[in-house]
Amino acid sequence: MDQETAQKVVREYDLESHLSPKEKEFLAQEMPSDHDRVQFFWRYEAAYTLLWALGYVGSLGKPEKRADLAQVIPPMKKRKTKQFIAEAELRSLSAILDQADLIYRYRWAIVDAQLNGETTPANLNPDVALERHVALNWLVGYMDQEWDDVSTDT
């Protein structure tokens, strides 16, 4: 998505006040660097996890492959902001905590393999696992950190 389209979406859904400082900074750039584009592109994995927490995605599954963008965009595109909020069904705290624990364990397996020069186990995708870890840590309030600063300690 180009910057103009992204800014249009932010206006259309009245999201400006909900963006993090880094998100605002990114959207304000006419030509973000390739590095910044890649970093923000991967955030759709975190968005997928948040959609799961809101009941718009059935199951997260093992973090082996990237989320299907066809599942990330329609829940938001088909609804205006108020409808999106009204139809969300936040998963139970225990379900969210279970996923947070599970992603921590997946991430530890990945980090441990990297530290020991081994292949990533069980076809886990390190980037997918990282973004899910960010989203789940934010959801559970890990270290009470803001979105831009969420830690993914293992």
Residue 1 is predicted with a pLDDT of 65
Please report the pLDDT score of residue 107 as a whole number. 98
- Rg, Å, the chain Cα set: 16
Least confident of 23-27, 70-74, 103-107, 136-140: 70-74
pLDDT at 105: 98
**Closest by CA position to 26, among listed 148, 128, 137:** 148
Per residue in 58-112, pLDDT (tens digit) is 999 999 999 887 777 777 778 888 898 999 999 999 999 999 999 999 999 999 9
Mean pLDDT, range 128-137, rounded to an integer: 97
67 SS3 class: coil
CA nearest to 51, candidates 25, 79, 26, 11:
79
Q: How far is Cα 88 from Cα 142, in angstroms, rounded to an integer?
A: 23
User: What φ, ψ does residue 30 adopt, rounded to 5°?
Assistant: -70, -40
Burial class (CB in 10 A: 0-12, 13-18, 19+), 51: buried
Higher pLDDT, 98 or 44: 98
* Predicted local confidence at residue 70, as pLDDT: 78
Indicate the average pLDDT of the chain: 91
Residue 138 pLDDT class (50, 70, 90 cuts): very high
In order of 61, 74, 123, 124, the CA distances from 147 in angstroms are: 23, 23, 28, 24
What residues contact residue 82 under an 8 Å CB cut-off, 6+ apart?
A: none
